[in-house]
Amino acid sequence: MTTPPHVPVMLERCLDALEPVAERWMVDGTFGAGGHTRALLARGAKVVAIDQDPHAAVHAAALDADLRIAGLTDPRERFRFVAGNFRDLAAHLRTAGLEAVDGVLLDLGVSSMQLDEGPRGFAFRQDGPLDMRMRGEGPTAADLIAATDVAELAAWLHKYGEERHSRRLARAIVAARDEAPIDTTGRLVDVIQRAYPPGPRRDHPARRTFQALRIVVNDELGALEEGLHAAIDALAPGGRLVVLAYHSLEDRIVKHVLRDRGDVEPRTKRPLEATEAEIDANPRARSAKLRTAVRHVYAPVPEPAGATA
């Protein structure tokens, strides 16, 4: 058996929380290489899968072909792939002719393919064009660096990277960019490493800067907030929402939306994490934080206008 290009994280936990029911539709809002989708299909569910990365369509086509080999003459009856953003979930479901679904899964962040395959610019350990666009359109990270100033860049690094040395790094990056464009990951890493204060550190000095730029390039937190509301709106009564976050900024948004909506019941007070065994086998599971919620069966009855005791 060949190793999948992306190993699905906390797969059994996700399936337990989603409780797929045979012949009922679910949404996988972050298809990637389709690991979670394949497991949902294997349990008998039907899946609308969404991914904004055009490369994900290759994995969707492979899944489509496998369904045909398994004897399905029209795989669209069980599996549909949409190239798009999960923030537009309502429109994607309308196009698919669906009103409500039994479950929505969002496995956030980047896939192993985006980190490892080709020159996508997400990885600080590989040299390549400083791109970072998941959907392959719009301004790249290099474009943002070329057009920003120290104050704005420092604000991004502070807010989206939680980088302690945000101003120092922003000054170094803007000074280097004014000498020559920073258009490769290697050059950005080099500038950061030179500017970073010496001393013990827990992670790579460029990790937080790369996280911040990726979030800005793809408007990841804006899409997450909108996508969570769209996902909850799309759930049938009793439907399940499962979200895998990979850093504290994402997890905080998930926690607050689930707590504040009023029409879902969070099922995880604290996020669940991967086991040591899973982390040993798949280091990308290390930072995963899984939260789940169930859509209320009965909508709260609004107070009639003017009704006061």
Q: Where are the alpha helices (DSSP H) in 28-149?
A: 35-42, 56-69, 89-95, 112-116, 141-147
**Among residues 45, 47, 49, 51, the one that binds ligand SAM under rule CB under 6 A:** 51
Segment lying near ligand SAM (by CB under 6 A), choices 52-60, 61-69, 175-183, 266-274: 52-60
Segment lying near ligand SAM (by CB under 6 A), choices 19-27, 49-57, 163-171, 190-198: 49-57
Under 8 Å CB-to-CB from 103, ≥6 apart: which residues?
A: 18, 19, 20, 26, 27, 45, 235, 239, 240, 241, 242
Neighbours of 298 (CB within 10 A): 7
Under the binding rule (CB under 6 A), the answer on residue 107 touching ligand SAM is: yes
In the complex, the smallest distance separating the C-beta of residue 37 from ligand SAM, rounded to whole angstroms, is: 7
Segment lying near ligand SAM (by CB under 6 A), choices 17-25, 50-58, 155-163, 209-217: 50-58
Amino acid at 85: N
Residue 158, H or E segment: helix 150-161
Burial grade of 255 (CB within 10 A; 0-12, 13-18, 19 or more): buried
Which parts of 81-100 interact with ligand SAM (CB under 6 A)?
Answer: 85-87
Under the binding rule (CB under 6 A), the answer on residue 30 touching ligand SAM is: yes
Are 78 and 71 in contact by the 8 Å Cβ rule? The answer is no
Under the binding rule (CB under 6 A), the answer on residue 122 touching ligand SAM is: no
In the complex, the smallest distance separating the C-beta of residue 205 from ligand SAM, rounded to whole angstroms, is: 24
Residues that bind ligand SAM (CB under 6 A): 6, 8, 30, 32-36, 50-53, 56, 85-87, 107, 109, 111, 134, 223, 227
